[in-house]
Copies of this chain bind each other. A is one copy, B any other.
């Protein structure tokens, strides 16, 4: 670890730490997605991860190492909440989660079912970091940030470590990997893993239209902020700007940022359902969306795609795909 940033060794250590608790999610291929792209699409199905998204990896990597903590506090649009709640319960610690009031019902219900207490706030007008920080200070509990922490980034990086090893085991050399970005922790972890295990692979992040702070930051060379804080179906991808740590890792390592329209996201959710037989939530489908929309060359190439989460109600899935 240099300058507080994680390195590949931290990812390997995280992999050992989460083994037996996190799911080694499959890297799935389908004739359908291959046919649509003219290449091979290998889907890392993190929707099948414990709590329905990759977030458990980083949460457990951090929380499992806590000694003498009285409890944990986190702020989250939903998936990090469930990851932290599950990890805290596993560690035997109480958890308070600060969540936007407009978080999908399934994410709130699942977080409560995992034993956490929920405090809601208004996404447009209140600062979640402050609310969560005050609770942590008042109680003397540990704050578990969604991405700005070396142990969180290292935990999420195990997704990239597994992808690289699974592809290699299948005799596939990955030409590119695409992953959805919000705060950029998953992207940063994967960047560190691929740099070490598959340095020829081009890594792209994907974002929903109007929330392309990473794409703009990569282009301008400094951390840009989104104009809006709400208004995308991708409720998991609404962080206002790249993190400081995550951007420091991502900036020199990413091949670029790609953007999907909402219609493309919905089409990808449907494609994940029909071709891969997995449930992708809107934010979880954004990487597949840009690939199916032709944002990068796919013909005769091997493309790794992270479907990062599947926490969407059946009713919402059906409402979104009805007009598609």
Using CB atoms and an 8 Å cutoff, list the residues of chain A in contact with chain B: 20, 23-26, 28, 30-32, 35, 45, 47-48, 51-52, 86, 106, 110, 113-114, 170, 270, 273-274, 276-279, 310-311, 313-315, 317-318, 321-322
Contact, CB under 8 Å: A106 / B317 = no
Q: Which residues of B contact A51 (CB under 8 A)?
A: 31
- Apart from the given pairs A26-B26, A48-B277, A315-B321, 7 other A-B contacts in the complex at a CB distance below 8 Å: A23-B26, A31-B86, A32-B110, A45-B48, A47-B277, A274-B314, A318-B322
Contact, CB under 8 Å: A273 / B28 = no
Q: Which residues of B contact A276 (CB under 8 A)?
A: 48
Given A48-B28, A273-B279, A321–B310 Cβ distance below 8 Å? no
How far does the alpha carbon of A218 sit from the alpha carbon of B50 in the complex, in Å?
38
How many subunits of this chain does the assembly comprise?
2
How far does the alpha carbon of A20 sit from the alpha carbon of B270 in the complex, in Å?
27
Q: Which residues of B contact A31 (CB under 8 A)?
A: 51, 86, 110, 113-114
A–B Cβ pairs within 8 angstroms, 19 of them: A25-B26, A26-B26, A26-B48, A31-B51, A31-B86, A31-B110, A31-B114, A45-B48, A106-B274, A270-B314, A273-B314, A274-B279, A274-B313, A277-B311, A278-B278, A278-B279, A279-B279, A314-B317, A317-B318
Q: Which residues of B contact A274 (CB under 8 A)?
A: 106, 279, 313-314
Nearest-neighbor residue (CB-CB) of A276 within chain B: B48
Q: Which residues of B contact A86 (CB under 8 A)?
A: 31
Contact, CB under 8 Å: B277 / A52 = yes
How far does the alpha carbon of A26 sit from the alpha carbon of B17 in the complex, in Å?
20
Q: Which residues of B contact A30 (CB under 8 A)?
A: 52
Nearest-neighbor residue (CB-CB) of A86 within chain B: B31
How far is the CB of A48 from the nearest CB of chain B, in Å? 6
